[in-house]
Amino acid sequence: MKGGLVQLHQLDDTFGSTYSRRLAPLLTDPARKRTGRFTLELDSLAFGVTGSRGLGDRTGYENSRETRVNQVDSLTTTLRGRVALTWDDRIGSVSGFAEGAFGGSTIADIDEPIELEDDLEFGAETQLRIVSIAAPKGRIPLSFFVQGAFDTEFTAGLDEAGAKLPLQRIVRGTAGTTFGRYLMLKELKAGLFLEYDLGAEVGPLAPGGAVSAKTERVWGPVRWANLLDFKGYFPTPVDTDEDLAFTLQLRTDLGIVPLKRLIPGLSVGAFADMLLFQGKVDTNDGVRAHLLLGAALTYDADLRPPVRLR
């Protein structure tokens, strides 16, 4: 491209002014000419071998309905992933999604499988593009989003006595802003949410704020991906030992794409996933953590129909 422009300038030294009016329409912001189309997003569909480790004393957290708060030390296999169908055009996007993670293991002297990871969420989201912010080496798209989701789990957790805890059933509405892809950043979201816990006997409404970020970097066949997901819950007069003040998930994945030409989205690698959490009452106001370490076979892809030529 550069060589061709240089040759044109050598043939016509007025190239810059003569052809500027012809070139300008071709160099306009492509977002303004975005063709609406569907995208099937397959995000981190993974099968892995995972080790679970609880960090710190769990006293005071026995009644928490957060699955990973009460998990025991174990080694097991897990399945996880996110699937979304998105309609995207120059104004914004609408998407429906489902994501989940599940792992179970059998521990010596215990007949029933022990949950390692258990989460299932369905939802829909609408984004409205607001502005594109100029930045070094590119532009950062800024959008407003509204999301509704139903957060549950595949199976109920167990307390220390082995009795089943109520199945998590949470309806959540979130609204805020989204910063789109820029350099390593895939997406940054910040907003306020309101949860309604269908299983809570006291204080089912829980307002709060959320921040999430995804980054990705590729060096040849090596892929490095990171996730930060924070949820902070505002204090209410009816808080109990079932309620958490915040959860913070930090996850990093490092993988190699062994068949880049044949299956570019398939990678093999290792990951570390830590959940930090804190309760709201005096009996569980200490910060605790749960750590997952493992290896996984992961597949990522964005499937789109071809763009129609005009």
The string of pLDDT tens digits covering residues 114-123 is 556 788 999 9
**pLDDT grade for 158, boundaries at 50, 70 and 90:** low
Taking alpha carbons only, the member of 277, 233, 228 closest to residue 55 is 277
- The Cβ-side half-sphere exposure at 27, using a 13 Å CA radius, reads 6
- What is the reported pLDDT for 12? 60
Residues near 163 by beta carbon (within 8 Å), at least 6 away in sequence: none
Shared-domain flag, residues 196 and 229: yes
Does pLDDT of 20 surpass 60? no
d(CA 214, CA 189): 9
Q: Residue 157: pLDDT above 50?
A: yes
**Are residues 18 and 92 part of one domain?**
no
- Give 243 or 62, the one with higher predicted confidence: 243
Q: Report yes or no on 215 lying in a domain.
A: yes
Instruction: Provide the 3-class DSSP secondary structure of residue 24.
Output: helix
d(CA 28, CA 106): 59
Strands (E), the chain: 37-55, 74-88, 92-105, 114-135, 138-152, 169-179, 185-197, 205-219, 222-233, 244-256, 266-279, 288-303
Distance of alpha carbon 181 from alpha carbon 176, whole angstroms: 17
Give me the pLDDT at residue 112, please.
59
What's the number of domains the chain is made of? 2
pLDDT category of residue 218 using cuts at 50, 70 and 90 = confident
Tell whether the model's pLDDT for residue 70 goes beyond 70: no
Q: How high is the pLDDT of residue 224?
A: 92
Residue 285 lies in a domain: yes
In this structure, what are the phi and psi dihedrals at residue 136, rounded to the nearest 5 degrees? Answer: -55, 135
- Is pLDDT at 107 greater than 60 in this prediction? no
pLDDT for the residue 31: 46
> Which residues have a Cβ under 8 Å from the Cβ of 297 and sit 6 or more positions away?
46, 47, 48, 266, 267, 268
* Whether pLDDT at 220 is above 80: yes
Same-domain pairing of 23 and 138: no
pLDDT average, residue stretch 278-298? 86
How far, CA to CA in Å, does 30 sit from each of 33, 89, 131, 210? 5, 11, 14, 31
**Same domain for 56 and 16:** no
Please report the pLDDT score of residue 62 as a whole number: 67
Residue 310 maps to a domain: no
Give the pLDDT score at 98. Answer: 96
Q: Are strands 185-197 and 114-135 parallel, antiparallel or unpaired?
A: unpaired
Q: Do 165 and 289 fall within a single domain? A: yes
59 vs 189, residue with greater confidence: 189
Pair (29, 92) in one structural domain: no
**Residues 95 and 116 occupy one common structural domain:** yes
13 and 64 part of one domain: no
pLDDT (tens digit per residue) in 243-274: 889 999 999 999 998 887 788 889 999 999 89
Rounded to a whole number, what is the largest CA-CA distance in the chain? 86
Per-residue pLDDT, averaged over 221-236, amounts to 92
Residue 258: how many CA atoms within 13 Å on its side-chain side? 5
- Between strands 37-55 and 288-303, the pairing is antiparallel
What's the chain's length in residues? 310
Confidence of residue 111 (pLDDT cuts 50, 70, 90): low
Give residue 91's domain range.
36-303
Token couple for 61: 């957290």
CATH number at residue 215: 2.40.230
pTM (2 decimals)? 0.72
Q: What residue type is assigned to position 287 of the chain?
A: V
Residue 262 lies in a domain: yes
50 three-class SS: strand
